[in-house]
Structure 1
């Protein structure tokens, strides 16, 4: 793929650009972050390499043939040969992190987080990525993860194997004191008058990976704790729980349906890292 071709179609979309809120360009994750940024919500800054870049970087017809035959290893090998628009990515990264600071590089599928299916966990996320070479490498790794055996198996049943669109989010990395997830309803007990908050000290990815057992808080819509399970030292204060509850309800109203939210607290400031619809109710 020529560098110029991607650049003409804008190979980088910043969260605060209107085009970034288009799920067809920025994927589910990128579009959600752009929508939250547009509302003035506390989202760490970042940019998206839009979905068309992947399709232009590979032999699309060859890739589609491999995908339809579910030859995942060959599909991934083909994608790993792709050249990302390095000049545009490096310039954006150096603007986002001028001291070559750490960023998170996250996959953002265009079919992701639709009402019909959640693609969460099907593609890769890379944390604490530093330096332009590593950022470019992880962009290609995210692309390749869209064609893993697990991802193709899932898409064959929930989505469409013809969909080759994959955007990539590059976001400033926080070093939070506390982090976790927030569900704006109780998805297990199917109670819409309760919110569920899980919290740990440090990075929230510890919850996803199962490394750490989080504190578990069941709260009402006013932010009052109705039930809690504290593992060791209590992670969240009452005020932090109220702030999280308020932001969660704001996001549920904004997106028009219950949300699964990733959040973090750094230097006392609450940040929103992701918000996607809960599809299991």
Structure 2
């Protein structure tokens, strides 16, 4: 019913989805990833009628599919017991099997829920992640980029980092495409502000050794020189680990850097 990030099967994209497999691979490689577990991609189809879901998806009946998931889905007690092991606040994230591949990024097509606390709240968030796999936007994108017959979607439940600073990092400059430059965007608080476009982040362009080359700040500095060096070092290691440029989500809490996600940059 669940796979901890440390499980060998958790690195399998077919089982853990793109996001889950990436987090498990990063954990196995020794990167600083917050603890968590994965509801494997087959679980949704075990607790629901797969044939009915497939029919609703093929007919692009997003409203019917989402309503069916919300009405019929059950979350096994083993999932909630695993949450008890983590305790406190968690992030509950969708992780589709076709997500975050080298060819396409499904970022934003399914739901993510942050700062979820308590068994009932976790249960509701898991069901909403499953339901979001059939949203109008997700079905349209999957029909265009993948296959409506693909019903594999895992869910990640992960310790929530109480971020003091957070953001995203691109291991190749996403605009100029210079391979000798990285771009780091940072805010005070949760990095979701950057991902959602809620606030304008401080932007740092650094070389491969983390030395600052250019900056644009709407206000005060967010990152110091040591933090830029540490971030760029992990960025290089992740790019080398995966063999392609990476788009990385990160957070800093109590002076410690955490890596929350890493996926290929698909716009280069």
Q: TM-score range by the shorter chain?
A: over 0.9
Local SS of the residue matching 1:51 = coil
- Please tell me whether the aligned partners of residues 180 and 200 of structure 1 are also in contact (alpha carbons under 8 angstroms): yes
Counterpart residue number, 1:31? 21
CA distance in 2 between counterparts of 1:85 and 1:217 reads 42
Give 1:191 deviation, angstroms: 1.2
**1:229 pairs with one of 173, 193, 216:** 216
Give 1:260 deviation, angstroms: 0.4
Which ranges of structure 1 fall in alignment gaps of 5 or more residues?
1-10
Counterpart residue number, 1:6? none
Counterpart residue number, 1:4? none
Task: Compute the TM-score of the two structures, normalised by the length of structure 1.
Answer: 0.94
1:199 paired with 2:189, answer no
How many aligned positions are there? Answer: 268
- Please tell me whether the aligned partners of residues 108 and 168 of structure 1 are also in contact (alpha carbons under 8 angstroms): yes
CA distance in 2 between counterparts of 1:21 and 1:155 reads 22
Task: Compute the TM-score of the two structures, normalised by the length of structure 2.
Answer: 0.98
**1:16-42 deviation per Cα after TM superposition (whole angstroms, max 9, x unaligned):** 111111111110000000001001110
Counterpart residue number, 1:8? none
Counterpart residue number, 1:153? 140
Cα-Cα RMSD: 0.8
Correspondences of 1:1-281 after superposition (within 5 Å): 11-97=1-87, 101-281=88-268
- Please tell me whether the aligned partners of residues 110 and 138 of structure 2 are also in contact (alpha carbons under 8 angstroms): yes
Which ranges of structure 2 fall in alignment gaps of 5 or more residues?
none
CA distance in 1 between counterparts of 2:183 and 2:104 reads 21
CA distance in 1 between counterparts of 2:53 and 2:73 reads 15
- Please tell me whether the aligned partners of residues 53 and 84 of structure 1 are also in contact (alpha carbons under 8 angstroms): no
Give 1:109 deviation, angstroms: 0.3
- Please tell me whether the aligned partners of residues 75 and 126 of structure 2 are also in contact (alpha carbons under 8 angstroms): no
Local SS of the residue matching 1:213 = coil
**1:41-72 deviation per Cα after TM superposition (whole angstroms, max 9, x unaligned):** 10000000000001111111111111111010
CA distance in 2 between counterparts of 1:82 and 1:238 reads 52
Local SS of the residue matching 1:108 = strand
**1:139-193 deviation per Cα after TM superposition (whole angstroms, max 9, x unaligned):** 0100000100000111111111110011000000011110000000012111111
- Please tell me whether the aligned partners of residues 178 and 200 of structure 1 are also in contact (alpha carbons under 8 angstroms): yes
Give 1:233 deviation, angstroms: 1.2
- Please tell me whether the aligned partners of residues 28 and 108 of structure 1 are also in contact (alpha carbons under 8 angstroms): yes
CA distance in 2 between counterparts of 1:250 and 1:34 reads 16
Give 1:81 deviation, angstroms: 2.3
Local SS of the residue matching 2:98 = coil
Give 1:83 deviation, angstroms: 3.1
